[in-house]
Structure 1
Amino acid sequence: MVIRRNYEHDTDKVLFDLFNKKDDSEAYTELFNRYWEKLIFIAVQRLESEEEAEEIVQEVFIRLWERRGKIELKNSFHTYIASCIKYEIYSKLASKQKELHLNLESAALFASSGNTTEEWLNFHQVRQAIEESVKTLPEKCQLVFNLSRNEGYSQKQIASELNISTKTVESHISKALRTIKLSIQNFLFTLF
């Protein structure tokens, strides 16, 4: 006779170790059930969209499962999962802000200038090339760049928000700028 384990009485640490080290899907499900509603609540408060909040929480848990065996907790599971959600929320907000900013900036530029359609298309293509190059950056690098350039955060603010050093922030921004510069150079080369 097989005795089923009762996961409800296990601590988060025990459950995390079971799923992270032993691929125990029932331990993972128990963690999901414990945190799903709390994390949705946090995300809805910031994003003001239940659909986006659910999408973010689901994405975090999918990545958690995909990275099992590679995750090392430095603090509690609660702290870890809360940081993951916070990071995703900032990323989503930065992405939304960037999109709004680009659309407004593009519309204003087009409306205020007597540019021809061809010039508008070239401008739009350069913007697209920049956006595409930013998307090729590692996720954390994208977030740092977007917080810096689109949200207007200082390096100190970014370091504080993401719990990283200012040197790491500088490194991410430098990497993003190098990538964008190379991308624009390649794009302009194809135009001429």
Structure 2
Amino acid sequence: MKLIKPQDSITDLQLIQLWQDGSTDAFETLYRRYSLNLLAIALDKTRDRELAEELVQDTFISFYNSKVSVGKMTTPMAFLYIILKNKILSLHRRNLVQQRYQNLLKHSYSEADEHTQSLIETRELERLLNTEIEKLPDQCRKVFQLRRQESLSNKQVAEQLLISENTVEQHMRKALRLLRIAFVKHDVLVLLFVLERYL
């Protein structure tokens, strides 16, 4: 099959037909013909060359996967532009949702930290914490108490109890999981933030 070069005066319709007939050269020619225009659009919308190049690559992948449905299309640039525009819009939507989530999370943790500071010193919360710690499985409780009350490192706890550091970490994760369950039942979610620092 004759190779299709960028300078050939072949129409888009002919390229699409050749591509659907199995010519990879035809698809590559379409890519060379329109990729720079799409890159300019993506770069203008994102101001990030690496991201723009990724969007263009994704656009052509989607275009390639639409091979069967583009049979009667005579303006591939319009089709490619629509694909790219949808990908850019999806990207902006994801970024917006992510930013809102991060702001909400930051605000929530800020409020929780202030709330924790005022409540954790109360005797009732301390009593509840100690009560639930005593309910932990024996080895799990020992590990948690050494980490929490004596502020030992994982290595120090492992040496004292003659177990591996990995086992210490497993017991800590188990303790935190069980205490979380207990505090949810007690509706004392503020203590969950305190427990995080013991891992």
TM (norm. structure 2) is 0.52
Residue 102, structure 1, aligned to residue 101, structure 2: yes
**C-alpha distance in 2 between matches for 1:73 and 1:119:** 60
Aligned in 2, Cα 1:72/1:116: closer, same or farther, shift over 3 Å?
Answer: farther
Aligned counterparts, 1:10-25, within 5 A: 10-19=10-19, 21-25=20-24
Alignment pair present for 1:9 and 2:9: yes
RMSD over aligned CA atoms reads 2.6
Structure 1: gaps spanning 5 or more residues: 122-192
Q: How many residues align?
A: 119
Match of 2:139 in 1: none
Aligned partners of 1:73 and 1:80 also within 8 Å: no
CA displacement at 1:13 relative to structure 2:
2.0
In the other structure, the counterpart of 1:84 is 83
The amino acid that maps onto 1:18 is: L
Quick one: distance in 1 between partners of 2:70 and 2:194? 47
Q: Distance in 1 between matches of 2:91 and 2:11?
A: 31
Is the contact made by 2:17 and 2:71 (CA closer than 8 Å) also made in structure 1?
Answer: no
Alignment-derived partner of residue 174 in structure 1: none
Residue 66 (structure 1) aligns with: 65
Pick aligned residue for 2:192 from 110, 118, 125? 118
CA contact (8 A) 1:16 1:27 kept: yes
Give the Cα–Cα distance (whole angstroms) in 2 for the partners of residues 120 and 40 of structure 1: 49
**Shift of residue 22, structure 1, vs aligned partner:** 1.2
Give 1 or 2 for the bigger CA radius of gyration: 2
Q: Which runs of structure 2 are paired with 1:49-60 in the superposition (5 Å)? A: 49-60=48-59
Inter-CA distance 5–40: structure 2 relative to 1 (3 Å threshold): closer
**TM-score, normalized by length of structure 1?**
0.54
How far is the alpha carbon of 1:97 from its aligned partner? 1.4
5+ residue gaps in structure 2?
A: 116-188
Query: Are the counterparts in 1 of residues 12 and 74 from structure 2 also a CA contact under 8 Å?
Result: no
Listed one character per residue, the Cα deviations across residues 51-78 of structure 1 (whole Å, up to 9, x for unaligned) are 1100010011122223322335556211
